[in-house]
Chains A and B, each alone.
Chain A
Amino acid sequence: MSNIDPVLLLSALIVVSTPILLAAIGELVVERAGVLNLGVEGMMITGAVCGFVVATASGSPWLGFAGAALGAAALSMVFGVLTQVFLSNQVATGLALTLFGLGLSALLGQGYIGVKGPSVPDLYLPLLRDIPVLGPVLFRHDIIVYLALGIVAGVAWFLNRSRAGRVLRAVGENHDAAHALGYKVVRVRLMAIAFGGACAGLGGAYLSLVRVPQWTEGMTAGAGWIALAIVVFASWRPGRLVLGAWLFGGTTALQLALQASGGVQIPIEYLQMAPYLATILVLVILRTGRAPGSLGRSFHASS
């Protein structure tokens, strides 16, 4: 145990939690609009492969991230059109989207297995990076880490302070009332779903371009499901979302460090389970808030 460096551990926590945070903040917006999209995992892995392919083809990781966001948003629109226009069941469609995304990504990723992608540079923050402890933990990361936190702050502001955010919450809370007041329920939801897709795509690309960084089939390994769980854990509130992502990221980083140190004499499968168990445990123990009133219900403007 003694050879685990707490500074490295905290620094790893930030990196490990970033993809989950991105996917979760997107899903949070989707659910606040009253839509339950269980396809996060599928959108993440599609983002991962799109990002990797575009980045290696263009040589630019930034174009890769843009491609990931676009690709996953396009995939989310399949879900959006099916559930919002054709009123298909959201749970079934979301599960199908995950399965479809896993298959599609495997197909797109053929020929990229084992290829090395372009590397993402750290954002060089002079002075800040040299602060002891805080510097390496907080200020020596790539720009996507800060972008993710920026998106969370932006979403928090959007939901609670802006008029458009208020409309989005209204649509998620009671879609019939929102419709009666003249708001375009389906349009608002489609935009939320596209945003959720784009965020999940960014999260996936962060895995394939920064964390791993290469393409392997099924590399998201359930991160999308954890993102879904964290949205509930956070009671649909952006601030708590960050805590949830850090909790999962922290336990993951810790178990990786424990594995590497070799100081713990238990099968590593137990260690690998730990982050998921910890997240589920906290989910069960914490009293969660109230879900948006119209969550998961189909809306049709009849009568």
Chain B
Amino acid sequence: MSEPLLKLDGLTKAYPGVVANADVSFEIAKGEVHALLGENGAGKSTLVKTIYGLVQPDRGEMRMNGAAFAPAEPRAARAAGVAMVFQHFSLFDALNVAENVALGMENPPPLGQLAQQIREVSRSYGLPLDPSRTVGDLSAGERQRVEIIRCLLQEPRLLIMDEPTSVLTPQEVEILFETLRKLRAEGVSILYISHKLEEIRALCDTATILRQGRVVGKCDPKTTAARDMAEQMVGATLSTPSRSLGATGEVVLELKGLSAPAPRAFGTALRDIDLELRAGEVLGIGGVAGNGQDELAMALSGEMATAPGMIRFKGREIGRLGVTARRRIGLLCAPEERMGHAAVPDMSLTENAMLTAGPREDLVRHGFLRWGRAKGYAEKVIETFDVRTPGAGTAARALSGGNLQKFVIGREILQRPEILVVNQPTWGVDAMAAATIRQALLDLAERGAAVIVISQDLDELMEISDRFAALNAGRLGAPRPAEGLGLHEIGMMLGGAHDMEPALGES
């Protein structure tokens, strides 16, 4: 075995109140795909930011090819051959592909020449991309290709990929893996960060597992069971959500030709969506990010008005009703973004409870707030959903992602909705909290409510949905029973890989 490409030794980084990395050591060999596994908040991001020069460690050192490696800024890391594809893309919507690529390079050639290079690299790695397109118009998969090509043009020795598949269709994931395997064959090392175990088993050669900032295990993912890795990651035994399939009832929500223009620049217009939702069922809506998920959630919640007849609640036209009026009749919604959309960060949990539960829980009378009742309601949510917080007076901003998510979902569920729409209910939430939330949604459906779950996590949708439908460019496909749907079929429903097939044939 030759010398490792990168060796981390005792890296420690503390922020006020939290130790992000504690004495982290591991090695990445040349030409291997190394998985870094861990829950949200396990310290993965801090660690890769250290390698990329965005964060300076308090203690510990790194060696690359035997020489000391302590990048003071990303530029130094890039010069040493480290490239990174970010989880939240570091792209600029209003700029075109070539300009975006140029911004990530040390000495970019003139744009015309660069465009030519982009075409060449995209051809040889099977990642079709037009350099002159505006990034804001690209799909999530295409945006990721921009990031990857930006990295490849710098001929990296170590490629860091932070949760690269969270926004891709199964087909796009396959193509990405082909590219990564090709890079590995060329001797590039890849540090692959994820919490999706099946992907890691399919792709990676070694895995390092982090929990609460520490290395808690190393394993060969090809021979270790996914469940074992998951339990090391979480540090507890996991249970899968369960439900007894109840009979579904009458139609409670009907969408007829729901169409709406995009509410903002780079948004997606909704096109002619038809849907019938029955009491007691969970409908999963999947799709690659940016295909109309947010817009559909807005149309259902009442944030975006539509023509009256496009949305019917038990036969009544509600397309023009506002958010509060819809809440009053029992159509509730928990949006995707916790901070600032579902909850006001600087307000206490009591105040946040009041914001959506006011009309149904009788927390407002004659225009005055009833603090006692509101506090009682917030406490009920906290207790029922095991929200870890000092009390209802705590500001929403002080809660961890998982706890706040439990609170905002619980706040809706306890209002006994007839229809609940949730968008990305477990995005960025740790596995334990995610399991709690999914179980709560299933319990709600069992009690006779209709639930719409919009999510990009296909495993989640398969786990809890009765029926599954896919959004693609603002159109909703016909729902199909979720049981027995294969990954390939789902991929086809999601619209498959965007213009991928010819490129695959070439490579």
Contacts and interface: CB of A to CB of B under 8 A. Distances in A.
A180 B93 contact: no
Contact of B94 (A180, A182, A183, A293): A293
B91 A177 contact: yes
Contacts of A292: 94
Interface string A171-193: 00110111011110000000000
A232 interface: no
Contacts of A167: 103
A174 B108 contact: no
Interface in A280-296: 290, 292-293
A170 B93 contact: no
Contact of A170 (B86, B89, B103): B103
A169 interface: yes
Contacts of B53: 182
Given A163-B108, A181-B103, A169 B92 contact: yes
Interface string B60-89: 000000000000011100100000001011
Contacts of B54: 180
B93 A293 contact: yes
Contact of B91 (A166, A174, A290): A174
Contacts of B99: 166
Contacts of A180: 54, 74, 86, 90
B93 A182 contact: no
Interface residues of A, number: 17
Contacts of A169: 92, 94-95
A166 B102 contact: yes
A35 to B, nearest CB: 16
A166 B103 CA distance: 8
Most buried by A among B73, B91, B103, B265: B103
Contacts, number: 51
Contacts of A173: 92-95
Contacts of B102: 163, 166
- Counting contact residues on chain B (CB < 8 A from A), the size range is 20 to 34
Given A177-B90, A182-B73, A182-B75, A166 B265 contact: no
A181 B94 contact: no
Nearest to B107: A163
Most buried by B among A173, A182, A183, A293: A182
Interface string B106-119: 00100000000000
B213 interface: no
Nearest to A290: B265
Given A169-B94, A174-B93, A290-B265, A181 B108 contact: no
A181 B93 contact: no
Contacts of B104: 181
A166 B95 contact: yes
Interface in A116-175: 163, 166-167, 169-170, 173-174
A169 B103 CA distance: 10
A59 B95 CA distance: 47
A85 to B, nearest CB: 19
Most buried by B among A169, A176, A180, A290: A180
B87 to A, nearest CB: 10
A84 to B, nearest CB: 19
B81 to A, nearest CB: 15
Most buried by A among B53, B104, B108: B104
Interface in B34-68: 53-54
Nearest to A184: B73
B15 to A, nearest CB: 8
Nearest to B89: A177
Most buried by A among B92, B102, B265: B92
Contacts of A178: 90, 92, 103
A230 to B, nearest CB: 20
Nearest to A169: B95
A66 B70 CA distance: 45
Nearest to A161: B111
Nearest to B86: A180
Most buried by B among A177, A183, A292: A177
A182 B73 CA distance: 6
Contacts of A170: 92, 95, 103
Nearest to B94: A173
B156 to A, nearest CB: 15
Nearest to B75: A182
A290 B94 contact: yes
A243 to B, nearest CB: 21
Contacts of A177: 86, 89-92
Contacts of A163: 102, 108
Nearest to A293: B93
Contacts of B108: 163
Contacts of B78: 182
Nearest to A160: B99
B19 to A, nearest CB: 15
A68 B300 CA distance: 56
Contact of A174 (B75, B92, B265): B92
Interface string A43-59: 00000000000000000
A182 B74 CA distance: 5
A178 to B, nearest CB: 8
A188 to B, nearest CB: 12
Nearest to A173: B92
A290 B86 CA distance: 25
A182 B54 CA distance: 8
A271 B31 CA distance: 75
Contacts of B95: 166, 169-170, 173
Nearest to B54: A180
Interface in A249-303: 290, 292-293
B140 to A, nearest CB: 15
A181 B265 contact: no
A170 B99 CA distance: 9
A176 B91 CA distance: 10
A62 to B, nearest CB: 37
28 contacts: A163-B102, A166-B95, A166-B99, A167-B103, A169-B92, A170-B95, A170-B103, A173-B92, A173-B94, A174-B92, A176-B88, A176-B90, A177-B90, A178-B90, A178-B103, A180-B54, A180-B74, A180-B86, A181-B74, A181-B90, A181-B103, A181-B104, A182-B75, A182-B78, A183-B103, A290-B94, A293-B92, A293-B94
Interface of B: 53-54, 73-75, 78, 86, 88-95, 99, 102-104, 108, 265
Given A173-B92, A177-B92, A290-B265, 6 more contacts: A166-B103, A170-B95, A174-B93, A178-B90, A180-B74, A292-B94
